[in-house]
Amino acid sequence: MLTALRRFTTSASHASLPSATSRVFPVVLGRSSSSTLTCSTRHFTNVGEDLHSNPIGRTNDVPQFGSGKKRVKREETRILQNKAVLEDHARRRRAPTQDEEDDAEVVCRARYGFLEKPPYLQYWSHFLFEIKRIEFRWSLTPGIGGVYHLRIIEHDADGEHELCHLVGDGKQCHPIADVFEGISGILQGTFLSFSVPFISSTVNSGKPQNLVFEAKPQVSSSSSTITEEENERQRSAADPTAATARLNLMVQTAKTGYCLDVYIMEKDSPIKVPLFHDISLQALFHAHIESIPLFLRRTDIGIPNHDFFPADQMTVFRFLWCFIRRECRMTPVELGELNHLLPMK
C-alpha cells in the first residue's frame, strides 16, 4: 500500500499542473494499489470572477420585514381620510341625466323648500347630494344651565358616520345662538369666517374646542351670466328691467355664492381637524334648522328643552330663522308653522 502511494505521488509531481478552472481531485478507495481510483473531473470557477459577475446586494436593497403591509396601511388610511372629498369630487364630475336632474329639483323644492340652488353649482343633483350628506344632532344632559352636545353626522353610500362630538356647558357657551348669528353674518357680508366655542370643564381636560366655519366666495357657473333674451334687451336700449334683473342677480350671488370649510380647532393650537370641504352655505343652514325643532320638542332631562332658552333669545331665533330662509331662497314659513317649529314659553 505504501509503495503504491509513493508511485502515485511521483507520477503526479512529474505531470503537468492543471489550470485554475480545471482541477482534478483524486480519490483513493480501498487498501490495495489495485483499488486506487481517480474521480471524474469537476470544474470550479474562480472565486473573484464569481463575485464580479454576481455581486452581493447592498444593505439598503434588502427589503424590510412588513414594509409592504405598512405602505398599504398608510395608503388605506390616507384614502379613508379623504373619502368625503373624493366622493364629493367624483359626484360633481359626473353629469346627471335629465331624469335625475328633474327628480332632484322636485325633491329640493317640495321636500326641502329651496326655490333656487346655490349659484355656483351647475346641477340640482349636486345640491341634493350636499343636503343629504350633512346632519346636526343636538342634545342636552343635566348640568347648570344644561350641557349641550352636538354630533355632526355624515351620510354616504356606506351609511352614517359620526365625525365629531362636541360638548359645551350652558353657563359658559351658547353654541346654537352662535351658529345662527354666524350664518346671518356671512349672508350680510359682515365677515367670512366664524367660530362656535364649546367649553366644558369635564371634557377634553377643560380645553375649549372651536367649531370653525370659513366661507369662500365662488364664481357662478351658470347663474352669473344673463340669458340671451336679457342680453338682447340690455343691448337694445336702456331697459331698466334688464338692469334691475342683473343687479338683483349679482346681489343674490354675492349673498349665497359661498361654500364653506368646516373644521375643529383647540384653543392655542394650530392643528385643524377637517370635517367638510367646500360644503354650500345652504346645505349647512338646512342641517342646522332641521335639527333645532327636533331638539326643542324633546325632554332630554325631564323638562322640555325649549324651557332652557329665555323668551328674548327664542325671539331672536325666530327672526334669524325667517331671515336666513329668505336670503337662502327658501319657501316662507307661516306664523302657525313657526310657532310649532320654534315654540315660545
Q: Report the chain's terminal Cα–Cα distance, integer Å.
A: 125
Q: Would you say residue 320 lies in a domain?
A: yes
Range of the domain at 4: 1-10+22-46
pLDDT of residue 70: 60
Q: Is 226 helix (H, G, I), strand (E, B) or coil?
A: coil
Asked whether residue 37 falls in the same domain as residue 184, the answer is no
**Could you tell me the CA-to-CA distances from 65 to 62, 73, 192 in Å, in that order?**
9, 14, 50
In a domain, 274, yes or no: yes
Q: Has residue 243 been placed in a domain?
A: no
210 and 276, same domain (yes or no): yes
CA neighbours within 13 Å on the CB side: how many for 140? 25
Instruction: Indicate whether 194 and 330 sit together in one domain.
Output: yes
Beta bridge partners of 155: 160
Residue 149 located in a structural domain: yes
Does 261 share its domain with 139? yes
Q: Are residues 36 and 180 in the same domain?
A: no
In a domain, 183, yes or no: yes
Query: Where does the chain show beta strands of DSSP type E?
Result: 26-28, 36-38, 134-141, 147-156, 159-169, 193-198, 209-217, 258-266, 272-280
> Is residue 278 assigned to a domain?
yes
pLDDT value at residue 316 = 93
Residue 109 included in any domain: yes
pLDDT of residue 275: 95
Residue 188 sits in the same domain as residue 315: yes
Q: What is residue 270's predicted lDDT score, i.e. its pLDDT?
A: 86
Q: What is the pLDDT of residue 119?
A: 86
- Residue 336 belongs to a domain: yes
286 and 212 within one domain: yes
Which amino acid would we find at residue 137?
R
pTM for this one?
Answer: 0.66
- Considering its fold, how many domains does the chain have in total? 2
Name the residue with cell 336700449.
237
32 and 170 assigned to the same domain: no
| Alpha carbon distance 249, 253 (integer Å) | 6
214 with 294, same domain: the answer is yes
C-alpha–C-alpha distance, residues 136 and 165, integer Å = 10
118 in the same domain as 42: no
Low-confidence ranges of the chain (pLDDT < 50): 1-2, 4-6, 8-61, 86, 89-90, 220-230, 235-236, 247, 250
- How far apart (Å, rounded) are the C-alpha atoms in residues 339 and 263? 33
Q: Across the strands, what pairs with 272?
A: 265
Does residue 181 sit in the same domain as residue 42? no
pLDDT at position 286 is 94
The three cell numbers of residue 102 are 328633474
CA distance 21 to 44: 6
Output the CA–CA distances (angstroms, integers) from residue 274 to 162, 218, 277, 302, in the order listed: 13, 20, 8, 35
Residues 130 and 26 in one domain: no
